[in-house]
Structure 1
Amino acid sequence: MPSRAADAVSRYGSDPNQYGELRLPAGSGPHPVVVLVHGGCFKAAYATLRDLAPIGDALKREGIATWNIEYRRLGQPGGGWPGTYQDVGAAIDHLRGLARRDRLDLRRIVFVGHSAGGHLALWAAARARVPSTSAIAGRRPLRPLGAIDLAGPFDMRENIANYHGECRDPVITQMMGGEPDRVPDHYRAASPGALLPLQVPHVLIWGEHESFMPRPLAERYVERARAAGDDAVLRIVSGAGHFEIASPLTPAWPVLLAEIKRLLEAPASDGRSSSSRR
């Protein structure tokens, strides 16, 4: 689907893949912000930030700024563990430097990711829960009002079989730098399911015909998150599959837009996490 050019491009690092596209709505602001994280089985060959640019355009028309991020992926130098996670964290925290110039309201941020990017969006929302000794821990992670996972893996250990089958490659073990029994600390630090409670409201949006991540897995995760004290919900979009839920031209769009607006209407955050590390 075609998209308009971004209003600005900003680099958060020196690697060619360490940048993001900013789209700004009309008006003086300060504007709420949605961080967009594309998927693609964590692999450079499958997707880029262009895949979510149409959502950025649609949100801009709704008066919401977007920061659509690129990051190093499998198949690129530095992609995988820990570089992919470090990039996502750095890209999000880069918003602090953009906020004044571009009239961004850092108290009203929501993270949205599709497929592999859904995993990264949930993980980014929980960064304050990552053990401080981990290579992917952040120093002052920017805290969102909420996060939305569009059919992405939420537990890197539990989701291995399904995700490897659909991606036709052992991408989770490649991302983690090994099997769970060999690098258990990596899985604990990177899996939202292992970081519960995330202490950030989050939404899982699944298509009725989702193939990558079967619905029962999502239902079990939401039950676990709620039992841990989180505000977590699962929305099912009738007739949609894995890719339709990430398009503003399908019946999934009103569902996604409504959830973004609901999360943005929550009491504003101070941009810092009050969660304690493990």
Structure 2
Amino acid sequence: MLCCVCADRLPYGDDPAQFVDVYRGDGGGSVVLLHGGFWRARVGLDHIAPVAADLHGRGHTVVNVEYRRVGQAPFPATLDDVEAALRLVEEGPAVVVGHSAGGHLAAWVASRVPVAGVVSLAGVLTLADAAREGIGEGAATDFVGGPPDELPDRYALADPVAHLPLGVPLRAVHARADDRVPFDTSVRYVEAARAAGDDAALVEVPGDHFTVADPTHASWPTVLGAIAEASGQG
């Protein structure tokens, strides 16, 4: 497992939640991790620490991002934080890997900051749809501050599908049995991305919402393959 003495903790703002933990690799390329938790404050970057440990053990430089969530700062603070954090990455364009809400943020930030590619792990890739469908007990409306019909400008800013094409490879890894973020969310996004001309692919794996971000699960080699493809090494 990774330990705190292995990482350089770098702030990108004055708030306690505005920092990244950087684990220096030995030439395996850079990966930025964005944790999930439906944008809510109760889940932090420790949630995705096993993924950081696995990738660091394979030689990657890993940047694990913390950011302000719902209840810690108003919209669009989360978006601003993720963009600011990505601009700290110094070792060339990185593959951005995000789980759940982090998948949303990964696809979104790729439209703002140069990245090598995106891997969404059960990501909330169509934000307005998520709000209308009540995914995560209203998580999307809590994040944005209201529903799409009341706040269309905010959804135009925050919805990844509104910023296609990305111009970089994207792999949407999703389990059909996911009962938190529907599999069709990734289907819809990938179809839209491909129609816009992007190199986007849906990668179906066994398991559930959480196993896609579990290095001990049987689907993990497929996730690693998706990361390699998104980096141009697959």
Residue 128 of structure 2: SS of its match in structure 1? coil
Equivalence for 1:247: 214
Alignment of 1:173 onto 2:141:
yes
Residue 29 of structure 2: SS of its match in structure 1? strand
Candidates 253, 258, 261, aligned match of 2:225: 258
Alignment of 1:117 onto 2:114:
no
Equivalence for 1:66: 62
Q: Write the distance in 2 (CA, Å) between the matches of 1:246 and 1:36.
A: 11
Equivalence for 2:75: 81
Name the larger-Rg structure. 1
Contact kept in structure 1, 2:122 and 2:173, CA below 8 Å: yes
Number of residue-to-residue matches in the alignment: 233
Q: Write the distance in 2 (CA, Å) between the matches of 1:94 and 1:60.
A: 18
Q: Write the distance in 2 (CA, Å) between the matches of 1:71 and 1:159.
A: 21
Q: Deviations over 1:203-245 (max 9, x none)?
A: 100013111222233222211211111111001112x100011
Contact kept in structure 2, 1:34 and 1:66, CA below 8 Å: yes
What TM-score do the two structures reach when normalised by structure 1?
Answer: 0.79
Task: For 1:1-278, list aligned pairs within 5 A.
Answer: 3-5=2-4, 6-25=6-25, 27=26, 29=27, 32-45=29-42, 47-76=43-72, 78=73, 80-95=74-89, 99=90, 105-107=91-93, 109-127=94-112, 141=113, 143-162=114-133, 164-165=134-135, 167-168=136-137, 170-238=138-206, 240-265=207-232
Contact kept in structure 2, 1:147 and 1:203, CA below 8 Å: yes
Q: C-alpha displacement at 1:3, in angstroms?
A: 4.3
What TM-score do the two structures reach when normalised by structure 2?
Answer: 0.93
Computed over aligned residues only, the root mean square deviation of the Cα atoms, in angstroms, reads 1.8
Q: C-alpha displacement at 1:177, in angstroms?
A: 2.3
Identity %: 38
Q: Deviations over 1:58-101 (max 9, x none)?
A: 1111111110000000121x1x4110100000011122xxx3xx
Letter of the structure 2 residue corresponding to residue 241 of structure 1: D
Q: Write the distance in 2 (CA, Å) between the matches of 1:88 and 1:11.
A: 12
**Structure 2 unmatched ranges of 5 or more:** none
Contact kept in structure 1, 2:171 and 2:230, CA below 8 Å: no
